[in-house]
A and B are shown apart, each in its own frame.
Chain A
Amino acid sequence: MSKSSSPVAGAARIFDLSLGELLWSRRTIFMALVVGAPVLLATVARIVQASGVAPLRVNGSRVDAVSIFGMIIWVLFLRFIVPVLGVFYGTSLVADEVEDKTITYLFTRPLRRGAVLLGKYLAYLACTTLVVLPSVMIVYFMLVPFGEIPRSFTALMTDLGLLAVGIATYGALFTFVGAWLKRPLVVGLIYVFGWEQFAMLMPGYLRRFTLAYYLQALVPHAMPADEGVASLLRSVFSETPSAGLSLLVLVTVTVVSLFLAMRVIERREYVLEQ
């Protein structure tokens, strides 16, 4: 096989190899803890609810199950789990190979470097979506009573879709950062826990330079509908772009980031520390 032949087949081979590596690495324990927390929370809420006590109260009023689920999606998945998984996995796709000095083995294969990166990115996508989305599904069925499903199922589908888009976008951005910078994890953590948090709370146009701004615009329905915490969330997230524009920006960021990452990895000489 020559390096120029069938990048898709090459990406598929790397995907096959990397999926197992990603799934059964030490990071999996971290991912299991991060994704297991909402499931645990939902289990506790369900047990508390079954005993007749309200699992969540805002200003003394009980919050219904669909709103609790909306809060978990907003606060845990959208604002924490998706960005964190994007940073940890995205930055590690290339950086880990460099750190472990195994990148040479990948680059000496008869595959284009861009295909290697694409295969690894697709493995990240499969690995995280196959963990995050089932977790959301379990949380949903743990919290929401059967009678409420017809009213809230469309919102769940939207939530699943936007979480998948979020995973793809954060992952692509940090794959590029991982391919480009030497210490990408620090940059990623500063971006997610520093810049995005700061910009989202600032009035004005700064929030337009965050992914969270466009991601949240896709889920106005999932925002908790009642008083208290909801009012706070609504005040913070009140200014949102249209869903079409948000989707366009997120897809553009994903494609451009992946393109840049592939371009960087094709041209860059990785010097392994001895």
Chain B
Amino acid sequence: MTKRTQRFVFLGVAILVVGLGTGLVASYVGLPNLGIVGSDGPAELAYVPPDATVVAFADVREVMDSQLRQKLLKISPEADHGADSFQAETGINMQTDVDRIVATISGTPDPSNPANMRPLLLARGRFDTARIEAAIRAKGGTVEEYNKQRLITLQNELGLAFVEPDLAVVGVPASVRRAIDTKASGNNVTSNADVMRLVRDFDSGNAWVVAHIEAVTSGNVIPAEIKQQLPPITWLALNARIDDGVSAMVRAEARDEAAANNLRDVIRGLVALARLQTAQHQELAQLVNSLELGGQGTTVSLGLTIPPAVIDMLGALRGAQPPVAPQGIPGATGPRRRLPPAL
């Protein structure tokens, strides 16, 4: 065998070995575990209990600074009211204080215990701890020491602890205590292989959610009639990149292949219907055409891209709408609101 032939054989074998090796490692060990691609999720997962059924992440700074948000604020200035109420309750300003946030729900939801259904929030950013603590104490809050952490509670409804200089844990007091215990014990959600499998796959973009739908719906939160109509999905994951538009990917894992095929058929039908409805509107047609249905076996995935042009179009449509004026119901006898005098 000549040197040239030997080199060729070596190159061919090397490509195969490297490819197979990479694939095997990615499949059975996971590239994120080796630190080659991605990571084992955000560091805040150290506070998330192992029985978490929903884990969500948002890079608040990127989302807040995104062109999309600026456009949405122009379209709908009241869109930030949710953040305002959060600030009123906790003293934390989402727009200026928080860089990123992890939200989680653990265990099976129980409607008889609403506190159990409230998410635990882990917000990383810059906090004026003294001011926030003073604000909560002014409302009647108390401060206690729990597992070497300073826990601020308000009427058993709100718990807040600054577990790291730049990390605040917010939720019902029981959840916050459990988060502190989780960190101390080291037994956290990263040991939950099912959740982490999806977290690793979806830990890209600036927002993502992983939910164990089967566990979430197994409680009595959803009426049985509605539950019967839901597709038999076990896991649902979504990630999105928000900048001047939105690119998102949703993945659903069905109970079996038949259920996945049914779900694909339903989505395919809905996409066809949407295509029919939007044929006259080029921008919306662009949005519908960006839908990418995929997945194999029990997995169904749907990709979506909302281009900036669609956002602009929605803004233009909103701008073109006449302001909604209160209207009396014909035949109604109730008092009509008096309009302010014209200036």
Contacts and interface: CB of A to CB of B under 8 A. Distances in A.
Nearest to A58: B293
Chain A CB within 10 Å, residue with most, of B23, B27, B204, B264? B23
B201 interface: yes
B68 to A, nearest CB: 15
A140 B19 contact: yes
Contact of B1 (A16, A63, A151): A16
Given A16-B1, A20-B1, A130-B8, A151 B289 contact: no
Interface string B52-70: 0000000000000000000
Given A62-B291, A64-B292, A130-B12, A19 B303 contact: no
Interface stretch (A98-106, A131-139, A184-192, A256-264): A131-139
A182 interface: no
A60 interface: yes
B1 A226 contact: no
B24 A134 contact: no
A203 interface: no
A60 B275 contact: yes
B328 interface: no
Given A20-B2, A61-B291, A62-B291, A149 B23 contact: yes
B166 to A, nearest CB: 29
Given A20-B2, A141-B22, A225 B296 contact: yes
A150 interface: yes
B138 interface: no
Contact of A63 (B20, B26, B268, B292): B292
A153 B26 contact: yes
B204 A147 contact: yes
A253 interface: no
A146 B23 CA distance: 9
B292 A62 contact: yes
A62 B5 contact: no
A134 B294 contact: no
A227 interface: yes
A48 B286 CA distance: 17
What is the predominant secondary structure among interface residues of chain A facing chain B? helix
B342 interface: no
B73 interface: no
A205 interface: no
B43 interface: no
Contact of A24 (B4, B290, B301, B303): B4
Interface string A44-62: 0000000010100100111
A126 B6 CA distance: 12
A271 B258 CA distance: 62
A171 to B, nearest CB: 17
B161 to A, nearest CB: 34
Interface string B260-298: 000010001001000100000000000011111111100
Interface residues of A, number: 39
A62 B301 CA distance: 12
A158 interface: no
A180 B24 CA distance: 43
Contacts of B13: 130
Contacts of B291: 61-62
A168 to B, nearest CB: 16
Contact of B27 (A20, A63, A138, A149): A149
Contacts of A162: none
B294 A64 contact: yes
B163 to A, nearest CB: 31
Contacts of B288: 60
Contact of A149 (B2, B12, B26, B303): B26
Given A60-B275, A62-B303, A19 B1 contact: yes
Which of A20, A54, A61, A154: most chain B Cβ within 10 A? A61
A55 to B, nearest CB: 11
A251 to B, nearest CB: 22
B190 interface: no
A200 interface: no
B104 interface: no
A146 B299 CA distance: 17
Nearest to B36: A146
Contact of A151 (B9, B20, B204, B299): B299
Contacts of A255: none
Interface of A: 16, 19-20, 23-24, 52, 54, 57, 60-64, 66-67, 126, 130-131, 133-134, 137-138, 140-141, 146-147, 149-157, 221, 225-227
Which 3 residue pairs spanning A and B have beta carbons closest together? A64-B294, A130-B12, A62-B292
7 contacts: A16-B1, A67-B294, A130-B9, A146-B37, A153-B23, A153-B27, A225-B295
